[in-house]
Structure 1
Amino acid sequence: MPSSSTQRVDLRRVRAGLPEAAGELVGEYERHLRLERGLSEHTVRAYVGDVVSLLGFVYRDESAELSALDVGVLRAWLAGQRAGGASRTTLARRAAAVRTFTTWAQRRGALATDPGARLVAPRAHRKLPGVLRPEQADELMRASATGAAERDPVALRDHAVLELLYATGVRVSELCGLDVGDVDFGRRMIRVLGKGDKERMVPFGAPADSAVREWLDAGRAALAAPGGTALFVGIRGRRMDQRSVRRLVHDAVGSVPGAADMGPHGLRHSAATHLLEGGADLRSVQELLGHATLASTQLYTHVTVERLKAIHDRAHPRAR
């Protein structure tokens, strides 16, 4: 894992081109996002980058002051982003980022009012995620188990990774962060550290239990560096990284006939969809996935509804 110091925003670069006071404000905002909000490094970089872009727009006139930042300036900045080719999804994210900033800046006293409260941005298109059908998921796991039956350490690891991703619906970052001690075989649960360093316990079933046990019993020792704690490791013995897991899933799913092109996030989508189709309630799925709000989980209900509509169109004699 990279050290936190290498992941953090380079504030010297961020402040370049901004007045000193604005650069200091950006620094305070970055610390607020990381220390008080507990946001991930990826989110901090994105939010700070958007705010730097906005402030660069405000201070394009060297005589400008931060007090010039009003809803008209926000709209003009977003219009420029759109003219530059930004998608609706990107515009929606940037609008959310600057609204977070203006709310914070008003509370801190840097702005007299909160212009972001009046900002209305285009809604992002919510694309329905590609998911595996249950029979395709079965085929994926059967093929993976066939490879693991050869007792090759890498095949055992790959099978355990696929089973655990699909069984739990965890994010790829959460999977890569697992240590051996995070697996509770007695209760069939894993301890996951999610976004904002929030810990949760996620259950898994018998197939994942068997696959992870086999990896630990017959595969991990052949790859892991001495003293390492990571549950999943690469061929050099270090903790498996997200890129390797994405490549693993992409290649494995690509061998399933008719399956959509996907990576680990597709298995997460598939797990959530199959849980809902099997009768799980939305709140339980929200807790399992570690979603902060129910709105994120509700996307999966659209997947199941679309699938039901497709089945109805194919099967009902009065559908057309």
Structure 2
Amino acid sequence: MENSKAAFRDYLQLEKNYSPLTVNAYLNDVGFFETFLIVNFEQENLQEVNYSQIRSWIVSLVDGGISNVSVNRKISSLKSYYKFLLKTKQIEVSPLLKHKSLKVPKTLQIPFSEKELNEVLTQIKYPEGFEGIRDKLIIDLFYTTGIRRTELIHLKMANIDQSNSTLKVLGKRNKERILPLLPIIINQFNSYLSERSCLEQIKDEAFFFLTLKGVKLNDSLVYRLINDYFSNVSEKVKKSPHILRHTFATHLLNNGADLNSVKELLGHSSLASTQIYTHNSLSELKKVYGAAHPRSQK
């Protein structure tokens, strides 16, 4: 089993180009299932599993208070493992062949309003110096490019082409895309780089965004930064970098942007992923339609 898991890790890293976090999550899920098998069925060989055993695991997860969303994610990891075993001819049929995902309630992510974005970018007070300039740039970059949190964290100095006002982003599965930059962002870049050059020490020289100690940012710092600043202007329950990405797409669509163009900017592989943002745009469209159509007043 250990050899098989090591080969599975290589498959996820090298063939699927998954991030280290995703790889570890997949391996952990498979490991949890393996432990469940040993404890409940005294079985160690995952290649001889049947669906009833997997169903027992699902029941135990749900009974333990795990949400359907989390259960589906764990089963997705297991599916990937059995697809790998099929591909490497270690099994002939996946035990999850006829599995159907658990139903989950559809939740609509609520984007920030244009008013909230204007307030957070122009009216609240930022700290003096490096951190204040950096924080405002991060918020504006999220909002004007739709960049993902991990893409922002791993942004390199070499990825920025100020002469062409573009940004090269390394997205999911190492897929590169070029994003246009607005003049207001270029101006903020210059201010930030001036402050960055005055840091006492820089350990992670290659990375664009740094902490005061000169090291690259981490996930929790960026999440906390967005949550803290938007708590000053918004009462929405969820205030995160992903909501800013969601806001970027929604505001573009609300103002007439083409769905395919938004898809390219977001780095989605299919339109299906982008279409979730049209729900909010449709809501806005209904308001305009209701206010403007002559028959709406009758």
Return the TM-score normalized by structure 2: 0.88
Identity of aligned residues (%): 29
Q: Which runs of 4+ in 1 moved over 4 A?
A: 257-261, 309-320
1:65-93 Cα deviation digits (max 9, x unpaired): 44531222222221221121111111221
Note the residue ranges of structure 2 that are not aligned, 5 or more in a row.
Answer: none
Match of 2:109 in 1: 129
Provide closer, same or farther for how the CA distance between residues 157 and 23 of structure 1 changes in structure 2, counting only shifts above 3 A.
same
Match of 1:245 in 2: 222
Aligned counterpart in structure 2 of residue 45 of structure 1, from 24, 46, 70: 24
1:254-307 Cα deviation digits (max 9, x unpaired): 222556641222211110111111222222222211223332222111222234
Note the residue ranges of structure 1 that are not aligned, 5 or more in a row.
Answer: 1-21
Matched, 1:194 2:171: yes
SS of corresponding position for 2:97: helix
Provide closer, same or farther for how the CA distance between residues 65 and 265 of structure 1 changes in structure 2, counting only shifts above 3 A.
closer
Matched, 1:114 2:94: yes
The amino acid of 2:35's aligned partner reads G
**For this pair of structures, how many residues does the alignment match?**
295
Matched, 1:222 2:198: yes
Provide closer, same or farther for how the CA distance between residues 206 and 63 of structure 1 changes in structure 2, counting only shifts above 3 A.
closer
Q: How does 1:66-215 map to 2 (within 5 A)?
A: 66-143=46-123, 147=126, 152-215=129-192
> Quick one: distance in 2 between partners of 1:64 and 1:140?
54
The amino acid of 1:242's aligned partner reads D
Provide closer, same or farther for how the CA distance between residues 267 and 67 of structure 1 changes in structure 2, counting only shifts above 3 A.
closer
SS of corresponding position for 1:115: coil
For the 8 Å contact 2:137–2:189, the answer to whether it is kept is yes
For the 8 Å contact 2:37–2:43, the answer to whether it is kept is no
Q: CA RMSD in A?
A: 2.6
> Quick one: distance in 1 between partners of 2:184 and 2:43?
66
1:28-84 Cα deviation digits (max 9, x unpaired): 212211111111111111111221222333344336644531222222221221121
For the 8 Å contact 2:202–2:213, the answer to whether it is kept is no
Return the TM-score normalized by structure 1: 0.82
The amino acid of 1:212's aligned partner reads F
For the 8 Å contact 1:75–1:119, the answer to whether it is kept is no
The amino acid of 2:196's aligned partner reads R
Matched, 1:275 2:252: yes
Match of 1:58 in 2: 37
